[in-house]
Structure 1
Amino acid sequence: MSENNVLKVENVTMQFGGVIAVDNMNIEVNKGEIVSLIGPNGAGKTTAFNVITGVYAPTNGAVYFQGEKIIENHPQGKMKKLYQGENNGKYTHSIVPTPDKITKLGIARTFQNIRLFKSQTVFENILIAKHLRRTSNLFTATFHLNGKEEAKMRKEAEELLRIVGLEDLRDEMATSLPYGKQRRLEIARALATEPKLLLLDEPAAGMNPQETDDLTAFIAKIRDEFGLTIFMIEHHMDLVMEISDRIYVLDFGKPIAEGVPEEIQNNQRVIDAYLGGAADE
């Protein structure tokens, strides 16, 4: 494993009953890269994200973050008989952290369908996320001994809003924002958890061309400004081809290609499975 490797997905299979949603997937994302995961609807892209972020325990395989194994599982119970994937018997331990523990390790994500705190303001959405890193406890909070930490978090939340261009909307209800700014707020909320790796699940979904152009520039900006590594699912091919350092392609849960944008655009298997169909729509 390379010293620059931030994320490694190793032989991951996710099987639901008799259906294999992700089939022996191997992916690597290196420090500072923007890597995209593309493929037809139902190809298993969001399932892969759910495995990486602890929403699902994989049926088989392992996930490494910054060189450390953070997830591992193998077929158990009824799945011992039902399992249809590869590498059965290779993995023998179960390491299945919950999503909050994954986030604390330094992996944050957004969702295909925006999931803001609807009854909270723009500022409060950011501040709530900042609390992931708080060191105070029930005792210090009860006796108001955490004032300095709370003030620090509020200051950092204000600065983050300035960086992402939402400071003038700090007191607006999150769901009152235009769609594109809601997307930006969701990304900003993920940034508030201080990630090293940011997973974006279809960030341009539902955006018009101008909003998509703005988002493309925004993703590049936060990668550089926050020193991030970004792993992204996206159907908007102009965005993917413009911003990605490398691209993986999934089809029926299985990676069928990996390469730089030009290689993917000219890969006949990818054209037949995905790009050709997308171009016809």
Structure 2
Amino acid sequence: MSKQNLLRVSDATMQFGGVVALNNLNLELNKGEIIGLIGPNGAGKTTAFNVITGVYSPTNGEITFDGEVIASNFPHGKMKALYAGQNAGKYTKSVVPTPDKITKKGIARTFQNIRLFKDLTVFENVLIAKHLNIKSNVFAATFMLNRKEEQQMREETMELLKILDLETHKDDIASSLPYGKQRHLEIARALATKPKLLLLDEPAAGMNPQESDELKNFVARIRDDFNLSILTIEHHMQFVMGICDRIYVLDYGTLIAEGIPSEIQNNPKVIEAYLGVDE
């Protein structure tokens, strides 16, 4: 059976003034896969996430999600003369998304630094995310005509907390949770938007080995339980090698390797990028 493509990043370049932060990235993710995006600090990993999620519009290139072009751009205006990337004349269409529109299409993300509503409860954090897909308008909400929909969202929020073993913490203030549980809550909030693709930005950052192993099992479980595809940035190599189907490696904004974990572990370019070589 052939694999069904979900995300395709084609020739994506992100240039800030004269600095090329992401240079001609080509990346594919199929439905059901867990893909890793790794590289040294400053390699362009978070820039790639920001381009995919609509935080940045690429300077050049195209992003296709579930068969639809969700972002596209080409060097024009002042950038036309400054452009230092590749494929300057390949794209001619400009599709500029916003993060909320990207989320509604089915892409959700977490962040390297946990971004919760720290003074709200676990339940309230997830319920707020549920409102992204609310169908009733401001008028209906003002006059409490949306009670049925609101009740459904509250029930769905409770069910999600049960599935993710956060039910007993539903009334706890988010900032009071242990670090690992805060990570789980951030992922739960992302899942509340009902994504097809989940982007995890260094989910194991700051975790001890036990917490990292628990997170690895947690991510594998939600992939299966929620029929998700996952793209993750991570510096924790044991986490990446233990969970990813395939891995892409960036260095100075440029893709230097891709393959299954065993191929990446033994790739000379990857070893050089991480460890350096003698002059």
Map Cα deviations across residues 55-114 of structure 1 (whole Å, 9 max, x no partner).
Answer: 001000000001111100111221111100001011111111100000000000000111
- Paired residue secondary structure (2:7): strand
Report the residue type matching 1:135 in the other structure: K
What's the counterpart of residue 184 of structure 2? 184
Alignment of 1:94-173 (within 5 A): 94-173=94-173
What's the counterpart of residue 243 of structure 2? 243
Say whether residues 1:7 and 2:3 are aligned partners.
no
- Paired residue secondary structure (2:144): coil
- Paired residue secondary structure (2:269): helix
Alignment of 1:82-93 (within 5 A): 82-93=82-93
Deviation, 1:127, is 0.1
What's the counterpart of residue 25 of structure 1? 25
CA distance in 1: counterparts of 2:89 and 2:162, whole angstroms: 51
Please, what TM-score do these two structures have when normalized by structure 1?
0.96
- Paired residue secondary structure (1:14): strand
CA distance in 1: counterparts of 2:209 and 2:85, whole angstroms: 40
Say whether residues 1:68 and 2:71 are aligned partners.
no
Say whether residues 1:51 and 2:51 are aligned partners.
yes
What's the counterpart of residue 253 of structure 1? 253
Unaligned residue ranges in structure 1 (runs of 5+): none
Say whether residues 1:267 and 2:250 are aligned partners.
no
CA distance in 1: counterparts of 2:139 and 2:158, whole angstroms: 27
Moved over 4 A (4+): none
What's the counterpart of residue 199 of structure 1? 199
Moved more, 99-108 or 115-124: 115-124
CA distance in 2: counterparts of 1:234 and 1:137, whole angstroms: 39
CA distance in 2: counterparts of 1:124 and 1:252, whole angstroms: 40
CA distance in 2: counterparts of 1:64 and 1:135, whole angstroms: 26
Please, what TM-score do these two structures have when normalized by structure 2?
0.97
CA distance in 1: counterparts of 2:16 and 2:139, whole angstroms: 43
Report the residue type matching 2:97 in the other structure: P
CA distance in 1: counterparts of 2:112 and 2:166, whole angstroms: 21
CA distance in 1: counterparts of 2:266 and 2:243, whole angstroms: 17
CA distance in 1: counterparts of 2:130 and 2:257, whole angstroms: 38
Unaligned residue ranges in structure 2 (runs of 5+): none
Deviation, 1:181, is 0.7
CA distance in 1: counterparts of 2:189 and 2:210, whole angstroms: 22
Report the residue type matching 2:202 in the other structure: E
Moved more, 74-83 or 4-13: 74-83
Alpha-carbon RMSD across the aligned residues, in angstroms, is: 1.0
